[in-house]
Each structure stands twice: as C-alpha cells, then as structure tokens.
Amino acid sequence: MDFSRPKIIVSKCLEFDACRYDGQIINNKYIKKLKKYIDFKPICPEVEIGMGTPRDTIRIIENKEERLLFQPETGKDFSKKMNAFSVKYLKNIIDIDGFIVKADSPSCGLKSAKIYPKKNNCPAKKRDNGFFTGHILSMFPNYPIEEEKRLNNVFIREHFYTSIFTIADFRTVDNIDSLYKYHAKHKYLFMAYNQTLMRKMGNVAANKNQKNIDCIKKDYYDLLLLLLSKRARYPSNINTQMHVMGYFKKLLTSKEKKHFLDTIELYRNKKTPVSTVNSILVSWINRFDNNYLKNQSFFHPFPIDLLNNEESRFL
C-alpha cells in the first residue's frame, strides 16, 4: 500500500539539531523512524529570534496583567519577539498535516511548560502551553499535535500516526470523483472515529447544494480535522471490528473466533492496541481475498513498519 508523505512541523532539537539551551540534541526513536515516511519541517523558535546556542534559560511568568517569556539571568523579556516570530512564521505555513513539539519547553511545550507566578525564585504554579505552541493551537485548530514524550504511549502514537497519514492522503483529492474514492477508502476508519461526522462528510461529498470543488474540499477538510481531533473510542472501534468480523463468521473455526473475541477483550481493557485486533482481521481479509475490505484504511492507516514488533506479531 502506498502512503502520502505527511508534512510535519517539528521542534528542531528533536533529532534534527543540537539547539537546546544547553547545546544538546534530544534523541527520539519514533521521530528517527518517522523520517523515512514524513517530510519534516524542523524549527527552533528560540534560535529564530536570535537567542543563540547555548543560552541562558527562559521561563514563563504569569501575573494578573500579562504572561512573559522571561530570562532570569539577564532580566530580558522575549515575549514580544517570540509572539511576532510565531505569528509571522505560522502565517506563511500552507499545506501542513501536523506538529510534534518538545515537552516542557517554555516555547514548544504542549500543556507542559511550567508557569511561574514571579520573576524571582519560586516554585511553578501550574503547567500550560509554551509561547510558540500557543500560537500553533490558535492558528491551526484541530490539527494533530503531539509532544515527543507522549509518543511513548502506543494508544496516543497510533492515533497520531493515523491522523497525520489520513490527513496527508487528502492531498490526493482534486475533484469530486477523487473525493468519493477518498471517502469510500476511509469509510470504516471514519465509522470508528465518529459516525455522526462521517455522515456529515458524506453529505458534503454528495454536494446537494452544487458548490464548487474548492468549497466542498474546504468544508470536508474542516470536518476531517474535527473527526480526527479526538481518539476513536473503544466501543466504536470494537463495533467496527465486530462488523468486519461478520464478513467471515461462517468461514472461521470456533477456536479462531474465540481467539479474536479474547483479543477484543484485551483491547477493551487497554492491554493491547487497536492494531493487534486489526492484524487478525487483516489475516482473514487476505486469506479470504476480500478486495473491498483490503482497500479500507482502517486496517492499515499508516505504514506497517511504524508498528512496534510487539504490535505486529499477528501479521
């Protein structure tokens, strides 16, 4: 199966450059592996605003009136520079499928940057978004975004990979015919994510109001981002999997069915990812040569090489 290459903005210190405040680079095995399949666009907002490497640390200070990006060593405030850079940089971004940002950073953190109540030494009062990431969230609502640390969680990782490859695949849509094909190919995936939005997307594609293709694409794309903005819930994934199992019910032995139902229970109890259940379904789709199901992205939403050995053991 061919996959469109997602275009992803990534914090540059993750696998791309030794640009952290201490002159270090952060190794991350998932990002390293993704390089083969993704066009990364690395960016270090702190270097871009001229802070240099290595540099004194900065922190977010929040008081009643404002939020500052403050450097305690020098007493400098980088808020204005960082806000101006972020808006200018992100305004020029077109054609992007998602973001991977560095956890805990006052510039790049996603709900993980420490927020301090005062400029002088004191404990952090809460965590929130870094300055740069705050602008990503307001300018690219509903786009896939993750921190590198959260990719360690297989459930979060599979959802993120599914989202970025499905969104990248939308680049193949350039007319109504290709939109129908796209919708049909992802039907079971969309069903597992959100049936209400799937139907709305189907109505947009049906184009009863005779809109032009650019308007249709925009309406459909907004719904697609919304649909993928939340992980598919366990019951709806299981409903979809049971629905697919129905195709093979009469062709399977009782042992095979039991093994499948046992694996579903493991998934329901969060002991195994969705890909483990789907691997069993894929083996039946291939065995019974079901061409309709073979083309459904639900069973291979991203390149199989990106699954860990543990998750691909049934293939």
Q: Where does this chain bind ligand SF4 (CB under 6 A)?
A: 11-13, 19-20, 44-46, 102, 105, 107-108
**Contact yes or no for 121/136 (Cβ under 8 A):** no
Q: What does the CA dihedral 220, 222, 225, 230 come to, rounded to 10 degrees?
A: -110
CA distances in angstroms from 10 to 6, 106, 263, 302, listed in the order given: 12, 15, 35, 19
Closest CA to 45 of 96, 88, 98, 108: 108
- Cis bond before residue 72 (omega within 30° of 0): no
Which is nearer to ligand SF4, 20 or 186 (by Cβ)?
Answer: 20
Shortest spacing between CB 142 and ligand SF4, in angstroms: 22
Q: Kindly tell me which of 16 and 161 has the beta carbon lying closer to ligand SF4.
A: 16
Q: Cβ of residue 19: shortest distance to ligand SF4, in angstroms? A: 5
CB of 51 to ligand SF4, least distance (A): 8
CB of 124 to ligand SF4, least distance (A): 17
Tokens 């691909």 correspond to what residue?
312
Give me 142's structure tokens. 């509903």
Per the CB < 8 A criterion, the answer to whether 273 and 306 are in contact is: no
3-class SS of residue 253: coil
Using CB atoms within 10 Å of the CB of residue 196, give its burial: 0 to 12 exposed, 13 to 18 middle, 19+ buried.
exposed
Closest to ligand SF4 by CB, 104 or 222: 104
Work out how close the CB of 129 gets to ligand SF4 at its nearest, in angstroms, rounded to a whole number. Answer: 12
Q: Which residue number, 102 or 183, has a Cβ lying nearer to ligand SF4?
A: 102
Nearer to ligand SF4, 11 or 237 (CB): 11
